[in-house]
Amino acid sequence: VRQLGSILNVPRAFLQRHPFPGPGLAVRILGDVTEGNDLEILRQ
């Protein structure tokens, strides 16, 4: 995608930024995120 953006002359600031939304807050929970208590913690 970045190579295509470069060919299309997209500004470098857009090409090098971090993708959004990325992994989100779930990356802060060790192990699997389940529909139980883990999701409620993420929503807070």
In the chain, % of residues over pLDDT 90: 23
Band of the pLDDT at 28, cuts 50, 70, 90?
Answer: low
Interior CA angle at 1 toward 11 and 17, to 5°?
50
Assess whether pLDDT exceeds 80 at residue 12. yes
- Structural domains counted in the chain: 1
CB-based contact 30:41 (threshold 8 Å): no
In angstroms, the CA 23 to CA 21 distance is 7
Band of the pLDDT at 22, cuts 50, 70, 90?
Answer: low
Global confidence as pTM: 0.41
Q: Tell me which residue range forms the domain holding 10.
A: 2-43
How many C-beta atoms surround the C-beta of residue 24 within 10 A? 10
